[in-house]
Structure 1
Amino acid sequence: MEKVSRYKVISRNTYLASNGDAVRLVYATRVSKVLPVKQAVADDLEAGRVPALGEQQLDVLRRYQLLVPAAEDELEAVTQRFTNNADDPGRRHIALFPTAYCNMGCTYCGQTHRRTSLRGNHREAVRRRVLAMLKHPQTTSMRLDWFGGEPLMGFAAIRDLSQSFVPVVEQRELDWSSVIITNGALLDIRKIRALAQECKVTHAEITIDGPPEMHDRHRPLKSGGASFWRIIDAIKQALDDESTAGLTFGIRSNVDVHNEDAITDLLELLASHGFAHPRVRFGIKPVHSWGNDVSAIELGKRHFAEREAQWLILMRQLGLNFEILPASPAPVVCPAVTRSDELIAPDGNIFSCSEQPLVDHLSHTAVGDVTSPWAQGADLRPEGAYDDWMQEVAGGQRACSSCEFYPTCGGACPKLWRDGYGPCPSFKFNTQERLDLVAELNGFAIPTGAVR
């Protein structure tokens, strides 16, 4: 016996296929894939009825996990997948903070920045711990992130540590990725080449909050200078440099009441400067609490989703790359619920959550120190405050327990849930507009008067 999965979102709009069939789109969240189905099939799925179809067509629905065994507890099955991935010792993810300082003074940032860098015994302890992970026979994949503060203020430490890590990665042929999260103000083509070639950084996430005047006001340098054009010029040089071809760029915009009206101009400006490029992807995010109170400037979720839907349409028109909907389920929720993931601050403290380091009132949440005996090898970190998140969801204690998007996002951020802020991703609130974009990309006609 089979049943219709609860984990699906069906478009309100009906589209016309090239053969004249009326179809609706189904976003199957257990596999994070979109499937066009005929109107009658969509109606059945919406009503929880197994459609009367041939075996071949039913197999398609099974493959998308839109039909599942009748006895299956879907919440338990999805949660178990998250748990299994979180417990996988072969997949390691570590974020290193080369420095606790940042050269910007963004008002929405919740960190406290000090001129503390990763040096001496702490640096050697970090080197030893990461090498132990890389050399451990169970390790098959490693993601190494450079975070901060502003990590490029510790550029020498990044290069030094990478000289130890990269040869082991190459020797063991590990599945490797490395991300640097940077404000971009210190980037130049020399550093980008070093990051791509020597340090094997595969992705740079850079925040640009508006056109020049807005960005430089929203993300001010502590020196009083401007950073917008410096960032743009560095990225443009990298996009023209084949020696950096292994490095992609993410352009993130943090949006609040001050800059929401500037995002359209930013997108048009960046498109005119060649950022409609296969190595560049855009993401627009609402400002949220990071251990600080941003209630006076943050946008309401539905308001942000409405604005974002228009920006997505514009990005499509401009040829800019972005994710319409997640194309694969989250393998794990986040580092905070994954003991094979950790973050090491410059003072040696090890944290489980990316929003805990450099936040003074959360310093007590460290799960250990990199010089501790357990950290000398590749042991999984001790449990943190959020490692019981999956049990909470499985026990029906969170809104995620009944949410159709749970397989795709996993709850997004356990910390924000416990702090009283619902961190639901914006695609939950503008799914229809995103499905319209999927329809357009796949050649389906959107009827006149459809909801957009």
Structure 2
Amino acid sequence: MKESRYNIFFHMGKNILAYNARTNALAEISQEDYKVIQSIFKDPDSNSTNKLYQDLLYGGFLVEDNFDELAMIRHNMYASRFSTNTLKLTIAPTADCNFRCPYCYERDVLKDKQMTDDVENKIIQMIESNLKSIATLGVTWYGGEPLLERKRIESMSEKIIKLCNDYKVDYFAGIITNGYLLDPDTLLMLAKYNVRTIQITLDGVAKTHDQRRYLKNKGKTFDKIMKNLMDISMLYEEEREKLPNISIRINVDKNNKEDASELLNFITNSPISRFVAPYIAGVYDHKDIDNEYTLTTGEYNELRDRFIEECIDKGYRIDYNTFYPRYITSNCVCDRINSGVIDPEGNIYKCWEEMGEESVCVGQVGGNPISNLPKRYFDYMLFDPTLDEKCSQCIILPVCMGGGCPLRRSRDKVRNCDEQISEIKSSIIKSYKLMNQ
């Protein structure tokens, strides 16, 4: 037997937390047990009758001499990345938006373009051709602003659900919307068509939000979104279990980082607090290399932690999994073979941040396969951190796998290893505290 290469031990008060990044096992141990464990690692065979020895085996802290943990991680990565059991699609029925948010990464590619019946039919045909070989289909409605094309969502959803029922395939959906058109009737429509999650963005209370998320004509939007949420609050009082979960995303940068708390107070003191889950996300702008207005990783992490503490203090239920490291096999749609982002014209991309960037288009629904796929596609699909000189030696490899977002890693060459390791340890501690509240 030998010690796992992914063991992490660090102090937690008078005791020590033991964590294994490959198995995601976590335990609190005493200083005395830690000393025993170190002796077991030095000479496992002579300590095999010790109860701690069995616990170490169970948690993956101790492994067989001939077990190649790195090879197992590589195997699981490729098994997930190239699995065809699930099909995940992001579908944008329009490239237009009723908002013109200045920090939006789509601001330069938004256009008055809606999906045609021909493109819809080709998408439905593509989905049907896959249903014979998959168990699950997931769709995210996206844009632009997808609710500008509500009828298209209804039409496609009805056809997709019928096909999934015919082929006995599980189906679920979500939608990312600015919330301006989310009235009670629209909410019920989304629920009818198995939309389980809704993400709405508010960037602060009215004054701040309206300066950042305004209509095409510069008109205000906060009051309308809040009216919609207030109008649907009664529906959640009556039949919450049948309705989608709603998250409120607060995009933060240096200009509004102090406004998240004010918005949280506003939400907490309103009826919508009973059915929405607020969270913050850092504004990303690959052009802001020097973080002139975007937050550094450290600044964001500090702000996020403070915001979550405020949520806990105000009675929001924060699950320990909010922080707990996730064993990563594939990051997102970018590095999964059976996933894609489809724009209103039927063009297929690997990342929704790439919509409209013709140089990285990987195909078109109903068209012939592209024989000359863009370099970034292979950057996504073939990047192997287990072969990277630095990553392959890292103790947090299984829960990092090269540093997160494949787009940022490929395009921006972002990899902050020291920050990643520090954040993983911090996340484990925060998770442990939540487990024991």
TM-score by length of 2: 0.85
Aligned partner of 2:313 in structure 1 is 317
Please say if residues 288 and 294 of structure 1, whose CA atoms lie closer than 8 Å, have aligned partners that are also in contact.
Answer: no
**Counterpart amino acid of residue 240 in structure 1:** E
Counterpart Cα distance in 1 of 2:148 and 2:64: 54
Indicate the SS of the match to 2:331: coil
Does the 8 Å contact 1:290/1:355 carry over to 2? no
Deviations 1:165-220 (A, max 9, x none): 112223444333211111112111111110011x2111112222212221221222
Query: What is the aligned partner in structure 1 of residue 187 from structure 2?
Result: 192
How far apart are 1:253 and its partner, in Å? 1.6
**Matched residues in 2 for 1:151 and 1:195: separation?**
12
Residue 41 of structure 2 is aligned to residue 49 of structure 1 = yes
Measured in 2, the distance between the counterparts of 1:385 and 1:433 equals: 32
Q: Which residue of 1 aligns with 2:157?
A: 162
Q: Cα 1:243–1:266, aligned 2, differ >3 Å: closer, same or farther?
A: closer
Q: Distance in 1 between matches of 2:415 and 2:217?
A: 34
1:340 aligns with 2:338: yes
Query: Are 1:13 and 2:4 matched, yes or no?
Result: no
Q: Does residue 1:441 correspond to 2:437, yes or no?
A: no
Cα distance, 1:101 vs structure 2 = 0.7
Structure 2 letter corresponding to 1:267: L
Q: 1:338 to 1:275 in 2, by over 3 A?
A: same
Output the amino acid matched with 1:369. Q
Choose the corresponding residue for 2:282, options 281, 286, 293: 286
The one-letter amino acid paired with 1:332 is S
Structure 1 range deviating more: 186-195 or 40-49: 40-49
**Residues 264, 278 of structure 2: 8 Å contact kept:** no
Instruction: Flag structure 1 segments of 5+ consecutive residues without an equivalent.
Output: 15-21, 376-380, 445-452
2:245 is matched with which residue? Answer: 248
Report the CA distance shift for 1:339/1:433 in structure 2 as closer, same or farther (over 3 A).
closer
Select between 349-358 and 222-231 the one with higher mean Cα deviation. 222-231
Q: Is the 8 A contact 2:325 2:428 kept in 1?
A: no
Q: 1:351 aligns to what?
A: 349
Shift of 1:393: 1.4
1:414 aligns with 2:411: no
Q: Identify if the C-alpha distance between structure 1 residues 436 and 396 changes in structure 2 by more than 3 Å, giving closer, same or farther.
A: closer
User: Alpha-carbon deviation of 1:402?
Assistant: 4.1
Identity of aligned residues (%): 21
Q: Contact 1:309–1:434 at 8 Å: present in 2 too?
A: no
Conserved in 2, the CA contact under 8 Å of 1:23 and 1:36? yes
How many pairs align? 423
Residues 266/190 of structure 1: CA separation in 2 closer, same or farther (3 Å cut): same
Does residue 206 of structure 2 align to residue 227 of structure 1? no
Return the structure number with greater relative CO, CA threshold 8 A, min gap 6.
1
Q: Per the alignment, do residues 420 and 184 of structure 1 end up closer, same or farther by CA in structure 2, a change over 3 Å counting?
A: same
Amino acid at match of 2:343: A
Corresponding residue number in structure 2 for 1:174: 169
Note the C-alpha offset of 1:350: 0.8
Looking at structure 2, the residues matched to 54 and 317 of structure 1 have their Cα atoms a distance apart, in angstroms, of 46
Structure-2 residue corresponding to 1:396: 388
Is residue 324–residue 428 contact of structure 2 (8 Å, CA) maintained in 1? no
Are residues 366 and 196 of structure 1, via their aligned partners in 2, closer, same or farther at CA, if it must alter by over 3 Å? same
Query: What RMSD over aligned residues (CA atoms) do the two structures have, in Å?
Result: 3.2
* Matched-pair contact (CA < 8 Å) for 2:101–2:213: yes
Q: Deviations over 1:216-249 (max 9, x none)?
A: 2122222333322333343452532416634112
CA shift, 1:432, in A, is 5.2
